[in-house]
Amino acid sequence: MSNEAVAGATINAELDALIDSKFREFKEGSIVNGTILDIRPQVVIVDVGYKSEGVIPASEFEDDEIEEGDEVEVLLERLENDEGMIVLSKEKAAHKQNWDKIVKVFEDGGLVKGKVKSMVKGGLTVNVGVEAFLPGSQVDIIPPKDLNEFVGKIYEFKIVKVNDERQNIVLSRREVIEAERSERRQRFLQTVKVGDKVTGQVKNLTDFGAFVDLEGMDGLLHITDMSWGRINHPSEMLRISQEIDVQILDVDREKERVSLGLKQMTDNPWEDIEAKFPMGSHVKGRITKLLPYGAFVELQRGVEGLVHVSELSWVKRITRPSDVLELDQEIEAVVLGISIEEQKISLGVRQLEPNPWDEIEGRYPIGTKINGAVRNLTAYGAFVGLEEGIDGMIHVSDLSWTRKINHPSEILKKSEEVEAIVLAIDKENQRVSLGIKQLDTDPWSDIDTKFKVGDIAKGTVAKIASFGAFVSLDGDIDGLIHISQLSEEHVERVKDILNVADEVEARVIKVDKIERRIGLSIKAVEYSAEQLQKESQSFETLRPSSDLVGLEQAFNLAAATGAPSEEEWSPSGATESDSGEEEEKSE
């Protein structure tokens, strides 16, 4: 071989070795520098010094202004594709570089900035150099209702998860906010003191109060510290996101709790309240609340008084204040009492007029005869109207001296005009007792002059009972013929001997003036004085038995009448219920 040939072979070998060593520096997956050779509509041609140029889609350069000759960093994906060309990617180079940065930030616990790209199922996608996922629960402290409002905005995020295999990144904006709030909260707790006035934003409303955001610190504004007056719910005064000035009432640095006051920002209207509204003074106000037990009246801002239902009328029985009052109605009332400690004022409306019961004894002296219409009938008596709102009651026992009345409807009707006598007055309990039988003399007062043992009496059978027959005698007085006095023979049933309306002649064998009973005997009509005396003594032995308890039980009526209880008697406020019976008086 000639010298020239040897020299040429050596040069070629050295050149091949140089080229091979250069190409061996190119590794798939590495980032290399390249130069833009040509910019076409769909692609950009880039030279990275390899044996062939690379073609990169023009879409990867959309956000960049590029010119031919510019240098760019690209990722070498493959040294050769099927066409023998090198495969490059600018986006993947940026992704790899950014991914490494993200991993470093994650390991160091730092924050990363990013732009929200779009809303996806469960949250948002964010561009932080690489695409990351922001769960909806991590967008804010309170998950927002509409995630679209965050799209296009730039925020700082905490990286909470990195998955190298899947190339997944999970972010949290909430943790960033909470960390900032925690820092501000600590600064706030270290500097704030009781009595300070601060500005905050209403964060949440509950039944018992409102939570106010104070530079990252949540303070509680209790409902009782919102107004000097009475409110039913915080929403009556506040709304979410409203900015308010409040006063610090208490600071618990250990538990990180702050109590706030809104009403304390204004003067206490209850100071000198007794001077503003003296006892007995007449006041005006607006009805703010109607409840079953009374009506609340606003006297001035922050000051309310209560008119109890019992203080609405002297004589009318008012069940609910709403029956006579309306919300926002302006009314006049009288101050009855003040409790500064409880911040309560008791008011009365009926005190604006004279109490008709004050002079009741002067208008209706005991023994006075009155005339009035029967307003209502109950099992124990009849109510008679005396004047507007005032009734008197005739007890069933005061209807007749002689008759056993089981229900007033036996002799009285509703709306019927009656005459009666005032028997008693109880001003404290607002009761007037009336009587009808007292209009006449008690026939039993001189009964012993009309009926004596041994007399023959005539009458009419008024009622048949299992134990005997009641006979109506002269003077509207009843006598009893016991079943044992019907005949000398044994009588099984009274109806076998007598019937109602039969005229009978019997002998008086017993007169009991105290218990108002007259005992009669048919079988003793022909007895001698000695026989009569024995029969009278034997009749007396019946006294303890239930056979002689009186007409009321004898007539087998369902209910025994007695004096009305405290609840049953409602003289001035008696009203007829659906069943026709007297409603109980509500104190």
Tokens of 10: 């050596």
Token pair for 155: 């925020």
pLDDT at position 9 is 54
The stretch 209-214 carries a mean pLDDT of 89
DSSP bridge pairs for 170: 133, 161
Q: Which residues pair with 468 in a beta bridge?
A: 465, 482
Tens of pLDDT, residue by residue over 396-438, are: 989 988 777 889 998 899 999 999 999 999 988 889 999 998 8
DSSP labels, 492-554: S-GGGT--TT-EEEEEEEEEETTTTEEEEESTTTT--HHHHHHHHHHHHTTTTSGGGS-HHHH
Nearest Cα to Cα of residue 345 among 292, 279, 403: 279
Q: What CA–CA distance (Å, rounded) separates 207 from 358? A: 47
Amino acid residing at 294 = G
- Amino acid, res. 536: S
What residue type is 68 in one-letter code?
A: E
Is residue 32 within 8 A of residue 87, CB to CB? The reply is: no
DSSP for residue 403: S
Asked if 185 contacts 217 with a C-beta cutoff of 8 angstroms, the reply is yes
| Whether residue 575 has pLDDT greater than 70 | no
> What is the model's pLDDT at position 325?
92
Average pLDDT over residues 344-370: 88
Mean pLDDT of all residues in the chain? 80
The angle formed by the CA atoms of residues 6, 12 and 18, to the nearest 5 degrees, is: 135
Whole-number Å distance between alpha carbons of 276 and 484: 82
SS3 content of the chain, % helix, strand, coil (to 5): 25, 35, 40
Higher-confidence residue of 95 and 276: namely 276
Q: What is the pTM for the complete model shown?
A: 0.44
The pLDDT score that the predictor gives to residue 373 is 92
Q: Domains of the chain, with CATH numbers?
A: 24-93 (2.40.50.140), 109-177 (2.40.50.140), 192-265 (2.40.50.140), 274-344 (2.40.50.140), 354-440+562-587 (2.40.50.140), 447-554 (2.40.50.140)
Q: How confident is the model at residue 1 (pLDDT cuts 50, 70, 90)?
A: low
What Å distances lie between residue 453 and 91, 114, 529, CA to CA? Answer: 135, 122, 10
**SS3 at position 467:** coil
Residue 125 C-alpha from the chain's centroid: 46
Work out the percent of the chain whose per-residue pLDDT is above 70.
85
Residue keyed to tokens 């004047």: 387
Tell me: pLDDT of 298 over 60.
yes
Model confidence at 46: pLDDT above 50: yes
Q: For residue 374, what pLDDT is reported?
A: 93
- Of the segments 68-82, 286-300, 522-536, which one has the largest average pLDDT value? 286-300
Q: Supply angle C-alpha 452, 455, 458, rounded to 5.
A: 115
